[in-house]
Amino acid sequence: MKVVLLTGGTGYIGSHTAVELIIAGYKVVIVDNLSNSSIDSIDGIQKITGVKPDFVKADCSVFSEIQALFDKYNGFSSVIHFAALKAVGESVEKPLEYYHNNLSSLINLLQLMKKWNGGNLVFSSSCTIYGQPDTLPVTEKSPYKPAASPYGNTKKIAEDILRDTINVSGSIKGISLRYFNPIGAHPTSEIGELPLGKPDNLIPFITQTAIGIREKLQIFGSDYDSVDGTAIRDYFHVVDLAKAHVLALKRLEENRNKTGFEVFNVGAGKGVTVLEIVKAFEKVSGVKLNYEIIGRRAGDIEKVWADTTFANAELNWKVQSTLEDALLTAWNWEKKLRVVRSEK
């Protein structure tokens, strides 16, 4: 059985990817420092798949801790690297923390992969590396614009590190998946987005407002160039994103990557405004949201959505779920969390 290391694997995207990997027949080893995730996701993965992944608590930005992990498992032929700080707004306030954590963790992994004879690495990247594009939708060949946040810049620099390392290593191959805006939860409601403290993403804010945890949803900006003045993003189901990781890993294993290091956009390929998301959620949930529109948030761009033609053709990947499907799973997950909270 093929073994895959998932860094940050108890997190939102990592836990959903663990499920899809196990279903595809892989043995999953998860490493996470639990700084912004819960160990409970391991139980959720097991309930969905019937398999409990190995779990090691460690910090990828600390070399000695990750070295001990590689030594324990005699290296890994495949790694999917999720572990990173990821809040755009927070990165503006704490740039050094973001540069240290996000870049050190990747460098540590690459050094250890090189020591253990290389392997395959799928990297969790972001559409934030495009900045505010001049032309939409963005393709993988769209020129980089200055990153709007330190978070976005860490992803750009990380891809540069990967490309430069892979070009000379001869033993490491890699694919970077540039995420747009994954939302939703697993249809079983066993795992989903579970931010610790105040959410950084739109959908948890929406569901927590709908459930009564938060009094009011704040929407940042009303003067963007869109049909309703709110920012435009490319939202798609997290399970579809998880499946893209499996396809990317198989592409590396089967030596179908054409340049050693490849990048793919993963999104729905359609732009949706924040207010359109609010209205779609109200429709699927039957709950009227209390919201207010305030000023723009530092680090946010105006609009971005993906051209996924390359991923469709080369990875044989495309979104399967509708926006409404994704929002409904997010709402069902939030309602389950309410039950869990009430029982504690």
Peptide bond connecting 53 to the previous residue in cis, omega within 30 degrees of 0? no
3-state SS class at 173: strand
CA distance 60 to 108: 7
Tell which residue, 157, 145, 158, 65, has the closest CA to residue 112: 65
Q: What angle do CA 36, 68, 79 make, to 5 degrees?
A: 60
Please give the positions annotated as active site.
151
Q: Give me the DSSP letters along 238-280.
A: HHHHHHHHHHHHHHHHTT--SSSEEEEEES-S--EEHHHHHHH
Sequence letter at residue 122: V
Tell which residue, 12, 258, 254, 22, has the closest CA to residue 120: 254
Show the tokens assigned to 254. 């089967």
Show the tokens assigned to 62. 């600390």
Yes or no: say if 107 and 162 are a contact pair by the CB < 8 Å rule: no
Residue 38's CB: how many other CB atoms inside 10 A? Answer: 16
Tell which residue, 77, 7, 24, 114, has the closest CA to residue 253: 77
CA distance 164 to 101: 20
Tell which residue, 275, 198, 180, has the closest CA to residue 229: 275
Yes or no: say if 41 and 15 are a contact pair by the CB < 8 Å rule: yes
